[in-house]
Amino acid sequence: MKIKLNFRPLFLFFGISVFVACKKDDTGSNQPPPVPVSLQEAIVGKWEIHPVAARLKQNSNNSPVSHKIQEPSQVLSLEFLSDSTYIVVMSGNEVLTGKYNVSDSAVIDLSGFGHLSEIKIAGNAMDFKLSSNGTVIVISANKAETIPLTDNTRLLCRNWYLTQAESGEAVYGEGPVASDKVTILFSAAGTYLVQFSSDDTLHSAEIANWKWHPTLSDTFVFWWFDEEPANDNYVTITELSSSSLKMQESHTDYEYHYDGEGNITSTDTFTVTAKYVLIPANQVSPRHSGTALRSRFLNTAEKPGIDERKAGIFRRQF
């Protein structure tokens, strides 16, 4: 009996196996090694501290706006911007901002506030030690989600200077202390920071959150740090470029009519629209001379001179 062997299928299988194996090896060898990310790049964003357990004692050498800040505060979040600006949000309605510097591969100096050391970043989690005013605390933080990076997001996310054109003049006249500079900062982490300055000194700051409106184009929603977002609290952008930002907001106002005894007889309801013109803050000569700026949120309950009807995006309404 003759046995006939068929070597062709076996040969083809062997050839294919070798080809696939070689192809796989070639593909793997051609892939570039991962590019290491520097600490400067890795920390950019907003880091939320949960659970909130970081307490700091305030330094009396830093002149706060209110004596209440002298009480121990909790660190709520720490945000690093790509232009080397940091924003610290603390309990007691306090926000601090200044410049940071990555002094070496493991230490970050926060000018006027303290420094971070023993930094460990794994994905969206970061552990570090914060030293401030003689206090050292160990912090664990998670990175907040960022707003989708569209062309409009890139244009909006910067520090803007409020001009006195349109309704801007009224904003400068509000409050117990008239401001000579008002800036508003948008960050890609959803931070919305308004700062009021006079005579080169920051006298109040208010921080909120923002995001793009889910259905209206060229419109963003904002809400204060301890509130829930509401899509009916929004601002419309009428012009946005690298050199100009124009926006407007509307609110309902009321006019009351009284009789001779002081009783309300009727009420007229009408809509008030405020328009604002802003330019990039870097186009304005710097006025702040301090290395770090400290302020608590402006509380209208303690400042009866505030006109709440003009609050809107530049003043928190109480």
Q: What pLDDT sits at residue 202?
A: 80
Residue 249's beta-bridge partner residues? Answer: 274
Level-2 CATH architecture, domain 39-143: Beta Barrel (2.40)
- At residue 240, the pLDDT reads 98
Tokens representing residue 72 in the block: 């121990």
User: Is this structure's pTM higher than 0.85?
Assistant: no
**262 token code pair:** 């002081």
* 71 burial type by CB count under 10 A (0-12 exposed, 13-18 middle, 19+ buried): exposed
Q: How far is CA 289 from CA 1, 64, 141, 303, in A?
A: 103, 16, 31, 26
What does the alpha-carbon distance between residue 223 and residue 226 come to, in Å, rounded to a whole number?
8
Alpha-carbon gap, residue 315 to 274, rounded angstroms: 13
- Digit-by-digit pLDDT tens for the chain (318 residues) are 444 444 344 333 334 443 444 444 555 556 666 556 788 899 999 999 876 555 555 443 443 333 333 345 788 999 999 999 999 998 876 888 889 999 877 899 999 899 999 999 999 999 999 998 888 889 999 999 999 999 999 999 999 999 999 999 888 876 666 788 899 999 999 999 998 888 777 878 888 999 999 999 999 999 887 677 877 789 999 999 999 999 999 877 778 889 888 888 888 887 778 999 999 998 886 554 333 444 433 333 333 333 444 457 776 654
∠ Cα 219 151 217 (to 5°): 25
What is the enclosing helix (H) or strand (E) of 191? strand 191-198
What class does CATH assign to 151-310? mainly beta
Spatial distance between the Cα atoms of 159 and 242, rounded to a whole number of angstroms: 11
Task: List, in sequence order, every residue forming a beta bridge with 234; answer none if it has no partner.
Answer: 221
> What is the 8-class DSSP label of residue 83?
T
34 is written with which tokens?
């991962």
The token duo for 144 is 């907040």
Three-state SS at 60: coil
Residue range(s) of every CATH 2.40.128 domain in the chain? 39-143, 151-310
Six-digit token pair at 147? 């707003």
Rounded CA-CA distance 308/87 in Å is 27
Nearest residue to 46 via CA among 79, 85, 90: 79
Q: What share of the chain is helix, strand, coil (3-state, %, to 5)?
A: 15, 45, 40
